[in-house]
Structure 1
Amino acid sequence: METKNSKLYESCCDINGIFKIIGGKWKAILIKNIAEGCPKRFGELRRELDNITQTSLSLQLRELERDGIICKKVYAESPPKVEYKLTQLGQSLLPIIEALDNWWQAYKGCEESP
């Protein structure tokens, strides 16, 4: 028998799944950054996100690629050239990330009011 609490739990689990894909300090920023200059090279991303470490950037990009949000194209040249772009699934996240950003701005505005 399904209860109201079990439906709420399933809904929260789905939301947790979403945040496993786009959560974290850098993923939403990476998605927006890649969208704004698609395709993006690794070095460009590293320069534009000045506080991210190379290790963290590599890990976040690998996870986004694994989850089907971005795709990577490797060119066989020396030095190696790698470009990242959003997949169709990744592009579908842009309005969601924008909505979260709008919510955050409104929340910060409410927080500052007495």
Structure 2
Amino acid sequence: MEKQPWDPYAHKCPSRELLDRIGDKWTVLVLGALGETQPQRFMALRRRLTGVSEKMLTQTLRGLERDGLIHRTVFATVPPRVEYGLTPLGETLRPVLAALKEWSAEHMADVLAGRAAYDAAKGEDLSDARV
């Protein structure tokens, strides 16, 4: 199969949609959680990802399954048990997401300082404009 020249900067390129999915807040967190411990059940993921609604988690999991990044295994028990894990393709994102997680933890103080400096400067600008 010939490789396509995918360009996520091009408006109609499918790779942009994929990049949007991978960059989505809940996608990053779901893939990151599954990269740490798998398989995981739906409620375990929901507890781990505080703030996610059941609907949003369901939509995120379905999209990731459709893209081939996670697999869903249903066990024939009563009630049915469902587990989620990374596919081999999803596994290729583990180092990328781990690096993002590490970077954010390592640089959070710098980002907070940058925000505070920006907010202080904007506050000064606003007060100057009112005079």
State the TM-score bracket (shorter-chain normalisation): 0.7 to 0.9
Output the amino acid matched with 1:69.
L
Contact kept in structure 2, 1:42 and 1:82, CA below 8 Å? yes
Change (3 A) 1:108 1:89: farther
Q: CA deviation at 1:49?
A: 1.5
Question: TM-score, normalized by length of structure 1?
Answer: 0.77
Unpaired segments ≥5 residues, structure 1: 1-6
How do residues 23-62 of structure 1 correspond to structure 2 at under 5 angstroms? 23-62=23-62
- 1:9-51 deviation line (CA, Å, top 9, x unaligned): x352476344223122211111111121110001111112221
- 1:67-87 deviation line (CA, Å, top 9, x unaligned): 111000001111110000001
Cα distance in 1 for partners of 2:41, 2:54 equals 13
Cα distance in 1 for partners of 2:58, 2:92 equals 23
Larger relative contact order (Cα-Cα within 8 Å, sequence gap ≥ 6):
1
Answer with 1 or 2: which has the greater Rg. Answer: 2
Cα distance in 2 for partners of 1:44, 1:102 equals 22
1:12 aligns with one of 9, 12, 31: 9
Partner of 1:67: 67
**1:79 match: secondary structure:** coil
Cα distance in 1 for partners of 2:103, 2:34 equals 22
**May I ask how many residue pairs the two structures share in their alignment?**
107
Unpaired segments ≥5 residues, structure 2: 118-131
Question: TM-score, normalized by length of structure 2?
Answer: 0.68
Percent identical among aligned pairs is 35
Partner of 1:109: 110
**1:71 match: secondary structure:** strand
When the two chains are superposed, the root-mean-square deviation of aligned CA atoms in Å is: 2.7
- Say whether 1:81 aligns with 2:78: no
Contact kept in structure 2, 1:21 and 1:67, CA below 8 Å? no
Q: CA deviation at 1:107?
A: 7.5
